[in-house]
Chain A
Amino acid sequence: MNIAKNARREFLKNASTIGMFCALGATGLIQCESKKERFYTYPPLLNQAPDGPVLRAGLIGCGYRGTGAVLNFLNAGPNLEITALADVFIDKIELCNKILKEKKGFEVPQEYCFVGFDAFEKVLDSGVDVVILATPPNFRPEHLAACVKARKHVFMEKPIAVDPVGVRSVMISGERADALGLSIVTGTIKRHQKDYIETFRQVAKGEIGDVVSANSYYNVGKLWHKKPKSEWTEMEAMIRDWVNWCWLSGDHIVEQNVHNLDTVNWFVGKHPVKAVGFGARHRRLTGNQYDMFSVDFLYDNDVHYHSMCRQINGCENNVSDQIRGTQGYTNCKNTIYNHDSSIKWAFDYGNKDQMLPISPYDQEHIDWVTAIRTGQPVNETQAIAESTMTGIMGRISAYTGKETTWEEMMNSDIYLSPKHYSFGKVDVDKSVPVPGL
């Protein structure tokens, strides 16, 4: 395994490297609130990861996205294997194996399929080189800490926590991964899409001027729900219905809207310092989450960012971002506009359908494997931790009706999960939050 020095610090140490990278346009430079400059290193975006010794991956969390992530990983390049599976439910593992069989022609042997809340430890002990974390996000902090301690490279799905205690744990694991030279890539796919990256490059070099405001929308239909069955314990019912329970998903402002929060934070180059939001629950059938949020985030230089998200069928849908600057505005995705809405710059896809050659879901795994195999670690932990915390800050503001600040979040003791995981009754707050109390 590659134990590189802390890439970021080494990078900053060497002034001449900075000059060279800037000249090559390989690095975006963004002013950050603490007078420090924040560097953004672009992923290489190869069409395929380079060859190398076999990388054996373990998957923790064999649901829909976990199974998808494994397929994306196997697509990423040569000599990639999946050698261990873990989930709390045996049927999820069986379904994952069935899909692997159909699509890739092999199954993970029984003795490497682990079931239970401690299955992740067994995966780490099974001889894997890298780990894919795709459980509901409340488990992520504990799993990531264990992976880093075991010196495993990690691909982890977004978001990475549901509460401030979890986010800080992830930030610390990220620091440790830096020191160990581990590569951690997260499922915030836009950071691995060439159209977004090229648009960011335009913004970073000042094409829209100074940012003055931002809007984003994640207004979609409902996801899904599972009604509890009589043979299930409360824990099983909750985990199978996890996108509807705040302690498991962080609510949809965190679980789904984190994509947009992350995009805006990325483009603005920092995280908001305050939030005032509201939200409500009208149509959701299970769980204790809201189904809509509207949050006014504030960055330190008085830049407001309005973020809206909804999961209700039959309503106006819109998933997009917009960032306005003194010189124009952008949709973040592929276009820079002048103030009069005329196009100033547009990303050239090179095809009529405006498609990227590689699926971004594959691309993030290609970038991860490339980082590991070329010995140039990539660690996206702090970025996703900040974006997750941004969502949590907005959620808590909506739940309470009060203004919440970043400092409060960075020091909040809010922890949503039960102290111990076991199948039976679940000792968590199941009430739907009421603001203003």
Chain B
Amino acid sequence: MRLKVKIIGLIAMLGLFALYRSIEKLDIYTSTDSYCISCHVHTSADHSWELSSHYSTNSIKRTACVDCHLPPKESIDYWPQKIKAGTRDLYSYYFKDRAKINWAEKSEIENAVRFAPKESCMNCHENLFPFDLSKKGEKAHLYYRRNEADLHCINCHKGVGHGDSKTMYEPNTLFLKRQENIEPIHTRSAKVEGFKNYIETIPGSSVSFDMIAIPSGEFEMSIYPNNKFKHAPLVRKKIYLSSFFMAKVELTWDAYRAFLTDVESEGREQAQVNDSIEIDVISGATPPWGDPAQGWGMGHRPAISMTWQAANIYCRWLSKKTGKTYRLPTEAEWEYACRANSDLQDNWTDEEIANRIIFRDNSKGKTHLPEGMKANAFGLVNMLGNVKEFCSDWYADNPFENDSFVVNPEGPETGTERVIKGGSYRSGKEDVRADYRESTQHDKWLRTDPQMPKSIWWYSDCRDVGFRLVCEWDGDSKKTINEY
């Protein structure tokens, strides 16, 4: 009897040992690069990895897939994550249409952090302050050290694992010089003769853009709780708007760079913003901490990454340059222009949406040139897509009191964040609506900026918001509520 127990015990132990060894072997086998690549659903991943600084490293060790994409082996998360990742990949391999997976979206910082645990970076890069670290690196790493809970290595070091372009940070002097300097050709701004479309030209630059005359009119604006459009709206509001001009496309990098070049400031001194209306001098934007164009190219692509304040100062600068009154649209103006009386996207087919706007399904994770997109009934392009757009209003969940209608509303008198409207290259189909509204998130969008004061010019963590110019038209007298 005792012998039997002993034998059973021995067999059990041998069995356990064999199981342990086979799991160990299995782990080693399933952790090789060749195993990952053999069925990995992301077909370009291995190629972009081979191009990256983590393939051809300075050390004798090449970084393997599992080194970055799984927690370190000592971590208690290792096995759960390994099983999860393996199951997910197998499922995608057998059941998903791989052509339809949006890799660009998955590689955006917000998603990428989920596929590369920070402790894996730290497992190799334990020493954040090597003696040969640059001054700028010291500053950034000290900032990281004191804000570790909010930051991931790839907030700054994106692209080191896949791809040959490092999204490392360069000063804006380079950023401005990166593109060829086109000789300035415009000597004067456009003359507006009557309420019709015109082409604005920025003096001292080669930049011109179309301004569309938006006729006065009224529309009904509905504010929904948290953009839940199936719920009853918080308020419906009849709104009357006077005529104004609005830019056909979102402000382009060319047009934004004209401003940066004109007011360029070297170095890090804090910009002085003169708040009086009669401004004589606008001090220049400080350099961005990073490439604000994300390496996607500039030209006619919409300018992004600027703060609301910078966009506002841009309008003042342009007003001074052109002698007109440029500003950001109010929320009501924006929505009115977007709707263009009848142009509601509710009835659009999928194809129609794709023809009209850059959104998640056709953007490949970045902004696009506006050319070729179908305009709305007013002649405005990409109102609902490519990038979200700043409005001049302070944000409030419900900005209207219960009046029956309002004329030219400008939003609450005070607030902490501003309204942004429209969708972007990252928005899903369900969010590209004229009545979709959000607010800026100032602190969150400056999370990775290690400078202090944090930049007032550039958001370090916002890549999908730009703005569209409005020019005031004083030609017809504005109606007041009494006249209405």
Contacts and interface: CB of A to CB of B under 8 A. Distances in A.
Contacts of B142: 168, 171-172, 175
A179 B129 contact: yes
A410 B146 contact: yes
B299 to A, nearest CB: 34
A253 B142 CA distance: 25
Contacts of A417: none
Nearest to B127: A179
Interface in A1-36: 6, 9, 13, 34-36
Interface string A171-204: 1100110010000000000000000000000000
B145 interface: yes
Nearest to B72: A13
Contacts of B296: none
A7 to B, nearest CB: 13
B148 A36 contact: yes
Interface string B141-155: 111011111100000
Nearest to A6: B126
A179 B126 contact: yes
A176 B453 contact: no
Contacts of B148: 34, 36
A408 interface: yes
A34 B147 contact: yes
Given A36-B148, A168-B142, A179-B126, A408 B453 contact: yes
A413 B451 CA distance: 11
B452 A410 contact: yes
Contacts of A407: 452-453
A408 B148 CA distance: 19
Contacts of A6: 126
Contacts of A431: none
Nearest to B138: A172
B484 interface: no
B125 to A, nearest CB: 11
B454 to A, nearest CB: 8
Contacts of B94: none
A149 B131 contact: yes
Contacts of A172: 129, 138, 142
A34 B452 contact: no
Interface in B59-112: 74
Contact of B452 (A9, A176, A408): A408
Interface string A95-113: 0000000000000000000
Nearest to B150: A34
B134 to A, nearest CB: 12
A364 to B, nearest CB: 26
Contacts of B149: 34-36
Interface in B429-452: 451-452
Interface in B106-136: 126-129, 131
B74 to A, nearest CB: 8
Interface in B266-312: 268
B129 A175 contact: yes
Interface of A is mostly: helix
A301 interface: no
B163 to A, nearest CB: 29
Contacts of B145: 171, 175
A175 B137 CA distance: 13
Contacts of A175: 128-129, 141-142, 145
A407 to B, nearest CB: 5
Count chain A CB atoms within 10 A of each CB in B139, B146, B452 and give the residue with the most: B452
B72 to A, nearest CB: 10
Contacts of B139: 168
Interface in A155-182: 168, 171-172, 175-176, 179
Contacts of A34: 146-150
Interface residues of A, number: 19
Given A34-B147, A175-B145, A411 B126 contact: no
A168 B148 CA distance: 17
Count chain A CB atoms within 10 A of each CB in B128, B129, B268, B453 and give the residue with the most: B129
A13 B146 CA distance: 18
Nearest to B74: A13
Count chain A CB atoms within 10 A of each CB in B126, B142, B148, B150 and give the residue with the most: B142
A176 B129 CA distance: 6
Contacts of A411: 451-453
Count chain B CB atoms within 10 A of each CB in A34, A35, A407, A411 and give the residue with the most: A411
Nearest to A169: B138
Contacts of A413: 268
Contacts of A35: 149
Nearest to A35: B149
Contacts of B138: 172
Contacts of A410: 143, 146, 452
A411 B268 CA distance: 11
B120 to A, nearest CB: 14
B131 A176 contact: yes
Nearest to B452: A411
A34 B151 CA distance: 12
A421 B328 CA distance: 53
A45 B147 CA distance: 33
Contacts of B452: 407-408, 410-412
Nearest to B269: A413
Nearest to A171: B142
Contacts of B268: 413
B451 to A, nearest CB: 6
A36 B147 CA distance: 10
Contacts of A171: 142, 145
A256 to B, nearest CB: 27
Nearest to B133: A172
Interface string B208-243: 000000000000000000000000000000000000
Count chain B CB atoms within 10 A of each CB in A9, A13, A34, A172 and give the residue with the most: A172
Contacts of B131: 149, 176
B136 to A, nearest CB: 12
A410 B142 CA distance: 9
Contacts of B129: 172, 175-176, 179
Nearest to A409: B452
A6 B129 CA distance: 12
A13 to B, nearest CB: 8
Contacts of A36: 148-149
A46 B146 CA distance: 33
A35 B150 CA distance: 10
A407 B128 CA distance: 21
Contacts of B453: 407-408, 411
A149 B148 CA distance: 25
Interface in A277-328: none
A293 B186 CA distance: 59
B135 to A, nearest CB: 10
16 contacts: A6-B126, A34-B146, A34-B147, A34-B148, A35-B149, A168-B142, A171-B145, A175-B128, A175-B129, A175-B142, A175-B145, A407-B453, A410-B146, A410-B452, A411-B452, A412-B452
Given A407-B452, A410-B452, 15 more contacts: A6-B126, A34-B147, A34-B148, A34-B150, A35-B149, A36-B149, A171-B145, A172-B138, A175-B142, A179-B129, A407-B453, A410-B143, A410-B146, A411-B451, A411-B452
6 smallest beta-carbon distances between A and B, as pairs? A411-B452, A175-B129, A179-B127, A176-B129, A407-B452, A35-B149
